[in-house]
Structure 1
Amino acid sequence: MDFSLPPEIDAARQRVRAFVEEHILPLEGDPASYDAHENIAEPVLERVREKARAEGLWSPQMPKARGGMGLPVIGMAACYEEMNRSIFGPVCFNCSAPDDGNMVLLERVGTEAQKERWLQPIIDGKVRSSIVMTEPAPGAGSDPAGMMQTRAERRGDTWVVNGRKWFITGAGVASHFILLARTSDDPRKGLTTFLFHKDQPGWRIERRIPIMGPEEHGGHCELVFEGLEIPHENMLMNEGDGLKSVQIRLGTARLTHCMRWLGLAKRALEIGGEYVGRRDAFGKRLAERESVQMMLGEAAMQIEIGRLLVMKAAWKLDQGDFARKEVSMAKVVVADVLHQAVDTAIQLNGARGYSKDTPLEWMYRYARQARLVDGASEVHKMVLARFLDGEGRDFWKWGV
């Protein structure tokens, strides 16, 4: 077994690391860098994006022929972790959700015409995108196949969509949308994926849902569909392939969340470690106290466990495997790791950590969503239990 990175991937990682250090981290301390929703302000973002593009650090998940860096998934893991050393990092490199997962899906399954129309503008940074799947109760959440309420009905060469969606990330600024809707009552082939543009009539944003944490650009919106007409040519894959398309997208998208969260977790420990390294209390440096060392050591160990799980899943995805078991394990563990690392850093910083003098409180609010997005932790544990039931002792088998 070889746990080292290929030289070319490590070189890319180091370039990303240097870029974040020089161009992105300094922005966090300037109030003018933030928009009203606590993300990086658009004018600032555009300047940083131009620098990243000029240095060849743009869209690493996309093929070089389309203007990306052409990295494999293990390369994405190494670089995304470095990008999210800053709370602003991923979006500066065109690697933030939901664009990241949407690009991966469109690149893998779109027709050439669809890639030119719907994918290339996202890669180029000209538009943003959103995936439209989750619904209010009793609609689709973790069980889209059984509970999807939004319907698309075919009328000649057009599909007419009616229904309601919510918590649709990025919808407020997206131009290109990927929509999952019910097209039949078949339990496995009843859902279909479509593409539509923001300017098409027949839908609207009902509201931008307020959340406890800082928001991605475009927020988390509730959408209403009242007769949206989508040409048949804008169907992604085939009729009934909706669940398949979701699995293709979420396999990598769930893992890229983990890659980014590991970067935030490491940054949190960095902030915590720096503070206890210079803070004295009761005649002793905090870093010299065993209780503090145990907190840091435990969090550092859990981060490394998460990194190993992520890299194994990334490696399997690069081999053409769906890595469903490995992705679920990584998703559960890294979501917990992020919260643990940030919570540890806040505790070590005391009142300073709870204030806005560091990014820790921003990270803490952001971290709580990790156990919910792209499948709640409990759902992923159910998935793992099914694998265990079906595989028995082979659940832990080595690949040969």
Structure 2
Amino acid sequence: MDFALPPEIDALRTRVRDIVETRIIPLEADPAARDAHENIAEDALQRLRAEVKAAGLWSPQMPKARGGLGLGPVGMAALYEEMNRSIFGPVCFNCAAPDDGNMMLLEKVGTEAQKARWLQPIVDGTVRSAFVMTEPAPGSGSDPAGMMRTTAEKRGDRWVVNGHKWFITGAGVAAHFLLVARTSDDPRRGLTCFLFHRDDPGWEIVRRIPIMGPEEHGGHCELVFEGLEIPDENRLMGVGEGLKATQIRLGTARLTHCMRWLGLARRALEIGEAHVRERIAFGAPLSAHESVQTLLGEAAMQIEIGRLLTMKAAWKLEQGDFARKEVSMAKIVVADALQQAVDTAIQLNGAKGYSTDTPLEWMYRYARQARLVDGASEVHKMVLSRFLAKEGRDFWGWGA
């Protein structure tokens, strides 16, 4: 494998890095630039989004015809990592979850009419979106095909939805929703994906669920559906293809999480490393002490392992492979590497790291969700075990 980035991708990466370094990171220390949920405030966000658009770096994951840069997963990996060196970075480039995964799914499987109505406004940044799948127990979590209880019943040319969802990221500010509901008892083809708008009657947000935080824009919400009617024209893909839609979306979306988390992990280690170079203890900089060097070296190595796994998965996706095995490995390792990097940086900064004088405590609370979102680490390890049982020695093959 050649790990060198093509010159045009590296040039874009450098430009993203410069905007993050000079325009976005400085905002982290400004209380006025934060909203009530510890994310970037809307006025600051819109100002930065305008700068990103003017710089020609908007929506790199979308085709050029839609106003994006037309990058594949490899290019995305390089740029997303640079974006998330700031806690506010990805959303400024229109590369934050859940919009990121929703855009990629709609671009891949939507009809032209659906793309015009439901996708393009998200690409333009005029609306936000949410993916509605997770349910309270005993409903669907990591096993939507077997456990989903929200139903969509066909009545004439419309579908009537009833059910209960929760931890729906971004729902509080979303206008466009992608909903997965049960349409039959078929174990593999029992789910269907639908599109609906915030103003459609028959559903409500019960609450914005309090979390450790910080939160994405729109929070993580609990939703109840009582007779939401969706025209059949707003069905995404075929009847019974909801699980397929979910797999298409999550395959790349899980990896984009890894791309972003690597940038955050790098930034945490940069903060830790800068502190130990300057802080004198026992007659020498902390960086001169072997115990400190061991902490930094171990965390740096885990980040690099995560980068290699992420880039391999991105490369396989770019070849047309589903890369399920590679994405699962990256998801497990990068989630752990992020938490280790932030924890290491806090330890090296001491009380300063535990305070809000640095963004490390923000990162620490954010990092804990990484082992849960888009499939818990234990589920991904189970996936890998199944691949190992099926493939045997070929599990470690070198082929594409």
**Which whole-Å deviations, capped at 9, do the CAs of 1:316-373 have from their partners, x for residues lacking one?**
0001110000000000000000000000000000000000000000000000000000
**Cα displacement string for residues 366-386 of structure 1 (whole angstroms, at most 9, x for unaligned residues):** 000000000000000000000
CA positional deviation for 1:240: 0.3
Query: Per the alignment, in what secondary structure is the counterpart of residue 178 of structure 1?
Result: strand
Amino acid of the residue matched to residue 8 of structure 2?
E
Matches within 5 A, 1:1-400: 1-399=1-399
Report SS of the residue matched to 1:164.
strand
By how many angstroms is 1:3 displaced? 1.2
Q: Distance in 2 between matches of 1:329 and 1:243?
A: 21
Give 1:284 deviation, angstroms: 1.3
CA distance in 1, matches of 2:322, 2:242: 16
CA distance in 2, matches of 1:314, 1:99: 19
2:237 corresponds to which letter in structure 1?
A: M
Q: CA deviation at 1:213?
A: 1.6
SS at match of 1:137: coil
**Once the 2 structures are TM-superposed, how far is the Cα of residue 308 of structure 1 from its aligned partner?**
0.3
By how many angstroms is 1:257 displaced?
Answer: 0.3
Query: 1:350 corresponds to which letter in structure 2?
Result: G
Q: Distance in 1 between matches of 2:300 and 2:9?
A: 23
Give, in whole Å, the separation in 2 of the partners of 1:333 and 1:276: 26
What letter corresponds to residue 12 of structure 2 in structure 1?
A
Misfit runs of 4+, over 4 Å = none
8 Å contact from structure 2 (residues 135, 165) kept in 1: yes
Per-residue deviation, 1:18 = 0.5
Instruction: State how far apart, in whole Å, the 2-side matches of 1:318 and 1:296 are.
Output: 33
- Secondary structure of 2:227's partner? strand
Distance 1:33 1:224 in 2: 33
Q: What stretches of structure 1 of length at least 5 have no aligned partner?
A: none
Deviation for aligned residue 1:67: 0.2
Shift of 1:314: 0.3
Q: Secondary structure at the match of 2:97?
A: coil
Q: List per-residue Cα deviations over 1:205-264 (Å, max 9, x = no partner).
A: 000000002000000000000000000000000000001000100010000000000000
Which secondary structure state, in structure 2, belongs to the residue aligned with residue 357 of structure 1?
Answer: coil
Paired residue secondary structure (2:188):
coil
Contact 2:180/2:193 (CA < 8 Å) preserved in 1?
yes
- CA separation in 1, counterparts of 2:237 and 2:153? 17
Using the alignment, how far apart are the partners of 2:198 and 2:289 within structure 1? 56
For residues 321 and 239 of structure 2, the distance between their equivalents in structure 1, rounded to whole angstroms, comes to 24
Report the Cα offset of residue 183 of structure 1: 0.1
Q: Counterpart of 2:238 in 1: which secondary structure?
A: coil
User: C-alpha displacement at 1:282, in angstroms?
Assistant: 1.1
Instruction: Tell me the distance in 2 between the aligned counterparts of 1:213 and 1:276.
Output: 28
Shift in Å, 1:387: 0.1
1:266 is matched by which residue type in structure 2? Answer: R
Please tell me whether the aligned partners of residues 37 and 213 of structure 2 are also in contact (alpha carbons under 8 angstroms): no
Q: TM-score, normalised by structure 2?
A: 1.00
Q: Identity percentage over the alignment? A: 80
Q: CA deviation at 1:22?
A: 1.2
Cα distance in 1 between the residues matched to 2:187 and 2:144 = 10
- The aligned length equals 400
Q: Structure 2 regions of 5+ residues with no counterpart?
A: none
TM-score (normalizing by structure 1): 1.00
Amino acid at match of 1:339: Q
Q: Is the partner of 1:295 in helix, strand or coil?
A: helix
One-letter code aligned to 1:64:
K
State how far apart, in whole Å, the 2-side matches of 1:381 and 1:187 are. 23
Query: Secondary structure at the residue paired with 2:226?
Result: strand
RMSD of aligned alpha carbons: 0.5
Paired with 2:65 and 2:319, the residues of 1 have a C-alpha distance of 21
